[in-house]
Structure 1
Amino acid sequence: MEQEYKNILVPVDGSDSAEKALRRAVESAKANHAHLDILNVIDTRQFSVSFSGMMDGGGSIVYQTFEDTEAYMNELKDSIVKDGFTDVDIHIRFGSPKTVIAKDFIEDHHSDLIIMGQSGLKAVERMLMGAVTNYVTRIAPCDVLVVK
């Protein structure tokens, strides 16, 4: 018996691996007549460690990161809608990527499939994303497809 998925989550970070996962997620959502959630998690730990003494009172670095992420996410959604798939939403969350993906977002949106890339953008991010992917495959309460 084939599994039908109704709520598909694809976390993205701008990497080639994540964009491959996004393409696979769109295909799966179309095939299953499912809703697609595209998620980017802004890792708040990077701000507390890297920029602790550099932020002005308005948190301009955090704000700029959010603005850049929002523009990127809107571009992804616009491209998908232009290609004829409209049952898609974008989400930006702050926190630990592995926890937000594997637990928090799933609880809020009842995803039944996560499709994600194997690794992130740069060497350090590849290592971290590998850790995120490993964590999500072990902890998430739903099926997880890792795209290589």
Structure 2
Amino acid sequence: MFNKILVAFDGSKGAEGALIKAADLCKLTQGELVVLTVYRHHSVLEASLSMVRGADTKSGNLDDAMRAASREAAEYAKARAKELGVSNVHAFIKGGPSARTIASFAKENGCDLIVVGSRGLGATEGYMLGSVSHKVTSITSIPVLVV
């Protein structure tokens, strides 16, 4: 069945639901759970317009702040999965375009199921079965469960 399940986690309510479903599946199959949190690189212009200001970060770099927030989310998801009864869980963070990064990471790491929330933290993306969950389903041959 599913031996290695990847769950994309961004800290949103939808991602929390995906994490719970992925944990349930891992317990059923006694498989491995791989948590992936993806942060997007910001251009200099985006960084200058961001609500995350340099004074709010140690280095003043928006990418560093995004990386740190992603690391926090990944660590939370790993701990939460363990609370839910998954013993074999690993967490990773990657920078890049969300859907492509999720799909390529799953393929490169031999995952046989991807679990994603139907809506994440993206601004416009949250208004529809959006961008990330829809795009992941369309660019990978790995089965995708949208929660």
Q: Which position in structure 1 is the counterpart of 2:124? A: 124
CA deviations on 1:20-53 (whole Å, 9 max, x unpaired) are 0100000001101111111111011x34441158
Q: In 2 relative to 1, CA 71–84 (structure 1 residues): closer, same or farther, beyond 3 Å?
A: same
Matches of 1:127 and 1:49 in 2, distance apart? 25
Deviation string 1:93-138 (CA, Å, 9 cap, x unpaired) is 0000011112x20232111101111111365241487111111112
TM-score calculated relative to the size of structure 2: 0.83
Q: Which amino acid aligns with 2:108?
A: D
2-structure distance, mates of 1:28, 1:9:
11
Secondary structure of 1:51's aligned partner: helix
- Please report how far the alpha carbon of residue 89 of structure 1 lies from its aligned counterpart in structure 2 after TM superposition: 0.6
Name the % identity: 30
Q: CA deviation at 1:85?
A: 1.8
Partner of 1:80: 81
Query: In structure 1, the residue corresponding to 2:130 is in which secondary structure?
Result: helix
- Residues 118 and 48 of structure 1, relative CA distance in 2, 3 Å threshold: farther
Counterparts of 1:139 and 1:133, CA distance in 2:
10
**How large is the RMSD of aligned CA atoms in angstroms?**
2.3
Unaligned stretches of 5+ in structure 2? none
Contact 1:98 1:135 in 2 (8 A): yes
1:84-123 to structure 2, matched below 5 A, reads 84-102=85-103, 104-121=104-121, 123=123
1:62-96 superposed Cα distances (whole Å, 9 cap, x missing partner): 11221122122212212322443220110100000
Q: Relative to structure 2, which stretch is displaced further, 27-36 or 70-79? A: 70-79
Structure 2 match to 1:37: 34
The number of equivalent residue pairs is 141
Q: Paired residue for 1:50?
A: 46
CA contact (8 A) 1:9 1:37 kept: yes
Mapped to 1, the partners of 2:84 and 2:93 lie a distance apart of: 22
Residue 25 of structure 1, aligned match among 7, 15, 22:
22
Q: Distance in 2 between matches of 1:128 and 1:61?
A: 27
Unaligned runs of 5+ in 1: none
Tell me, in whole angstroms, the C-alpha distance in 2 between the residues paired with 1:136 and 1:20: 17
Q: Which amino acid is 2:26 matched to? A: A
